[in-house]
Structure 1
Amino acid sequence: MDTFLGFDAVMLARMQFGFTVAFHFIFPAISIGLASFLAVLNALYLWTRDEAYLRLFKYWLKIFAISFAMGVVSGIVMSYQFGTNWSVFSDLAGPVIGPLMAYEVLTAFFLEAGFLGIMIFGRDKVGPGLHMFACLMVAVGTAISATWILSVNSWMQTPQGFSIAENGQFVPEDWWAIIFNPSFPYRLAHTLTAAYLTTAFIVGGVGAWHLLRGRRENPGVRTMFSMAMWMAALVAPLQIFLGDMHGINTLEHQPAKVMAMEGHFDSHPDGAPLILFGLPDQEAGEVRYSIEIPKLSSLILKHDLNAPLAGLDTIPDDEEPPVAVVFWSFRVMVGLGFAMLGVGLWSLWARFRGRLFDAPWLHRAALVMGPSGLVAVIAGWITTEVGRQPYVVYGALRTAESHSPLGASAVGVSLIAFVVIYFVIFGAGIAYILKLMRHAPERGERGVRVEPGPIRTTGITPQQQMREDGHDMAKEGA
């Protein structure tokens, strides 16, 4: 067998696609949430005339623009792999996924691209109403883009509405059934909520960083941290609920994936335990050194302590997903989800006591949890995609039958090139974003122009404002 560094062409192609998707996924997760956050900030500024909201808008707009650009570039590179590494899949599934991808470009991407320039550069050139409308359209466009992409992915997970032609191609029969396939609503809700939660913790982490550096009197810092913690407290429990609903749907349509997630090698006719931790051994068919809670898995998945749950012993060996990868990626995702819930509840307690901006341990926790949403969405994506194996279209087309007729060395060399180029180019972009985050929203934030009308500042005394103005003047003099 043709191999490169011990891997065959199929595994190398999967590794390449997984690497590029993981890099790409973090940027839409940021831009989806930030687009909505920016729309809210702009609306609050127009409503209250509070300059703190305008400062935050300009501050996060620069970060959004860079994230959006890197998301577009990484997405284009990723799409080329359908033709280079997965040409058989593109040929067979193209009649279904091709139109859906085209709809994403025609609706969402054109909407985002059409209004992005007005959102970024148009505040001083168009009226506040049109500028606000542009902000809303960009936010709506990012959500519509996610909707089409998730419809494609969900169809690959729970395919329906098609027939298979004599040449093996998937022929669309019912577009409504294809788009609104069984897992699509759950996947859409879970992923969009994850994007908003991811953004909340990034914003909260940046706010916590500045609070820990003694910038508690800065109204922009206080506002961003407060808004982020409200989002964490309200959305984290919703996300856990949506994840539970998504899991139940997955059990119905992709039972082998749930068996791998739970580590259930054996069937449990009278209630399955929840395996918290352990070392899955797929060859031996067991989870070694497992720590279990009896019957809890049945309660979570079937809402009945004694409900039977089938195990991987009911699945043919050649249709089992890689259990260890799915088992641990699922636990990373769930563990971070509950950690987010803990920070959200902690912030509520601090807010109730009037200590939200004077709770250094909460700020340290929020800073550490800043990138947690990005890790969680990548772990969730790994759970979803690896758990679908050995199929690329679940139950209908195997991954091993979908790749291009390329040699392992060709795919391996291109994978190495991708890794080097991605870390150089996108590493520089991420470094610049971190540099932008390092300074606090300032009164002289570049691009801030206060429109005529009454201006209010939230939670800051005239003495504090004078000190902040003096600090800004000193910086400009220096």
Structure 2
Amino acid sequence: MDSVAIDLARFQFAFTVSFHIIFPAFTIGLASFLAVLEGLWLKTGDDKYIQLYKYWLKIFAISFGMGVVSGIVLSYQFGTNWSVFADKTGPVLGPLMGYEVFTAFFLEAGFLGVMLFGMERVGKKVHFASTCVVAFGTFLSAFWILSVNSWMQTPAGFDYNEAGQFIPVDWFEVVFNPSFPYRLVHMLFAAYLTTAFVVAAVGAYHLLKAPHNPLARTMFSMAMWMAAIVTPLQIVAGDFHGLNTLEHQPAKIAAMEGHFETHQGAPLILFGIPDEENNKMDYAVEIPKLGSLILTHDLNGEVKGLDAFPEEERPPVTIVFWSFRVMVGIGFGMLAIGSYSLWLRKKNNLYEQRSFLRICTWFGPAGFVAVLAGWITTEVGRQPYTVYGLLTTADSASPIDAAAVSVSLTAFIVVYFIVFGCGFFYLLRLMKKSPSKYEQPLEARLPDGSEAPATTHSNHLT
């Protein structure tokens, strides 16, 4: 494959995985949110929780379906554009991806039917158990997929066979490779925050139209609690993940931090314009020695720059440098919103400050942007390798020409924008509908099929 074909194949995979990753980032958190809502309904008997459950269940089902469709496409590209990678890594990564299908996907798909259609056909506890199983399935899916990706970043527990393939010799080391725990925690927190800010945006949007809507108040309050609690944890988890990356992928850290030269007492570069041709950072805005303090916990600690690595092993600096700052910037924006919500809650003004509600509405997609920026940082920062330090991207590609890749890429772009554009439009329409339309007594059925008395509605619109 020539360099143009490789770049087109990389862009194609990046394009399709960018569409895919936003759905798991949403459904992982939303599945857990649904489990919490139904659990609160069973515990308190308050109908507002089951009404919110019904409101978000349809959104979850559509998002889950779109995630499945977008995910299937990715596996085909391993055979079309990256067949050498599939052949070399198949004995290790193939079983892991198979485990994801046989455990997580079948679990999710099976019990999703009970969630959607079983409310009046099974007992309340059985239905709640189904919701919990689906939530666990989303976690299990993230577990296996992140194990695959982490092994590509920090390969362990393998050997080579006579054909030059990676073969597993210790499955525990393969699955729980050095970066896997950090990536798993970081991604799960990212999913919860992504969902929280979507829920907050929807709640804020409806509060701007009807400030006393009790269902909008409930979802907005729950989302703000999640933002206030999880964002600081995510920042701490990100710091640990960064230290792990420094240990195993120091060139990636050098690109993320924008260090072209090795420093004793490295500054923290807040902003700047990377000049990769001349190996320098132009117009740098930096804080002296803070970079070393964060990365080595020593003001005078050594931080390797890109000059410590051969030029052919350096990742693209500009993309990694800026995508990392987009992710971190959004993270601190989430921290500010979560912290301010606590202050408003203390002042009993969480639902009335319209400027804050507008900010939360516009901040709704920020979690998706942060997830994409984090993924770009991780994957572009791994270049020029697919399996870090062992298998290059150039050696992973299929022997096809640029024209063939460009045709499939064009087809993907056209179809994706039509299909997923319609899907996004429909999801937004659902979110624009007021949750108050679901605010009616719930009719459930007992396990024997008989009708249970309608529960008393405990919350009414004023």
Give me the whole-angstrom Cα distance separating, in 1, the residues matched to 2:245 and 2:353. 40
| Aligned residue type for 1:261 | M
1:33 to 24, 29, 33: 29
Report matched runs for 1:103-122 at 5 Å. 103-122=99-118
The aligned residue for residue 326 of structure 2 is: 332
The aligned residue for residue 184 of structure 1 is: 180
The aligned residue for residue 225 of structure 1 is: 220
Paired positions, count:
455
Task: Report the Cα offset of residue 404 of structure 1.
Answer: 0.5
1:86 to 73, 82, 86: 82
Are residues 13 and 446 of structure 1, via their aligned partners in 2, closer, same or farther at CA, if it must alter by over 3 Å?
A: farther
Task: Report the Cα offset of residue 37 of structure 1.
Answer: 0.3
8 Å Cα contact 1:49/1:455 also seen in 2: no
Task: Report the Cα offset of residue 219 of structure 1.
Answer: 1.3
1:407 to 396, 401, 408: 401
The aligned residue for residue 169 of structure 1 is: 165
Unmatched 5+ stretches in structure 1: 469-478
1:237 to 201, 218, 232: 232
1:212-259 Cα distance to aligned partner (Å, 9 max, x none): 11x122211010000000000000000000000000000000000000
Helix, strand or coil: the match of 2:121? coil
Helix, strand or coil: the match of 1:46? helix
The aligned residue for residue 137 of structure 2 is: 141
Helix, strand or coil: the match of 2:284? strand
Give me the whole-angstrom Cα distance separating, in 1, the residues matched to 2:387 and 2:312. 15
Higher alpha-carbon deviation: 50-59 or 151-160: 50-59
Give me the whole-angstrom Cα distance separating, in 1, the residues matched to 2:90 and 2:439. 48
Give me the whole-angstrom Cα distance separating, in 1, the residues matched to 2:377 and 2:134. 30
Are residues 420 and 447 of structure 1, via their aligned partners in 2, closer, same or farther at CA, if it must alter by over 3 Å?
A: farther
Give me the whole-angstrom Cα distance separating, in 1, the residues matched to 2:11 and 2:328. 24
1:193 to 189, 196, 199: 189
2:386 to 382, 386, 392: 392
Task: Report the Cα offset of residue 393 of structure 1.
Answer: 0.1
Give the RMSD, CA atoms, in angstroms.
Answer: 1.4
The aligned residue for residue 242 of structure 2 is: 247
Give me the whole-angstrom Cα distance separating, in 1, the residues matched to 2:211 and 2:92. 53
Give me the whole-angstrom Cα distance separating, in 2, the residues matched to 1:371 and 1:349. 23
1:106-151 Cα distance to aligned partner (Å, 9 max, x none): 1111111111100111000000011000000000000000000000
The aligned residue for residue 267 of structure 1 is: 262
Unmatched 5+ stretches in structure 2: 445-451
Give me the whole-angstrom Cα distance separating, in 2, the residues matched to 1:41 and 1:171. 44
Helix, strand or coil: the match of 1:387? helix
8 Å Cα contact 1:58/1:446 also seen in 2: no
1:45-98 Cα distance to aligned partner (Å, 9 max, x none): 111111111110000000000000000000001111010110000000000000
Task: Report the Cα offset of residue 365 of structure 1.
Answer: 1.3
| Aligned residue type for 1:94 | G
Give me the whole-angstrom Cα distance separating, in 2, the residues matched to 1:361 and 1:75. 38
Give me the whole-angstrom Cα distance separating, in 2, the residues matched to 1:333 and 1:122. 40
8 Å Cα contact 1:155/1:178 also seen in 2: yes
1:352-374 Cα distance to aligned partner (Å, 9 max, x none): 00001111111111111100000
| Aligned residue type for 1:382 | I
Give me the whole-angstrom Cα distance separating, in 2, the residues matched to 1:60 and 1:332. 29
> Are 2:61 and 1:53 aligned?
no
The aligned residue for residue 291 of structure 1 is: 285
> Are 2:424 and 1:439 aligned?
no
The aligned residue for residue 256 of structure 1 is: 251
Q: Percent identity of the aligned residues?
A: 63
Give me the whole-angstrom Cα distance separating, in 1, the residues matched to 2:220 and 2:423. 24
Report matched runs for 1:360-375 at 5 Å. 360-375=354-369
8 Å Cα contact 1:208/1:363 also seen in 2: yes
2:202 to 200, 206, 223: 206
Task: Report the Cα offset of residue 453 of structure 1.
Answer: 7.1
8 Å Cα contact 2:31/2:138 also seen in 1: yes
8 Å Cα contact 1:58/1:448 also seen in 2: no
Give me the whole-angstrom Cα distance separating, in 2, the residues matched to 1:199 and 1:26. 10
> Are 2:58 and 1:62 aligned?
yes
The aligned residue for residue 159 of structure 1 is: 155
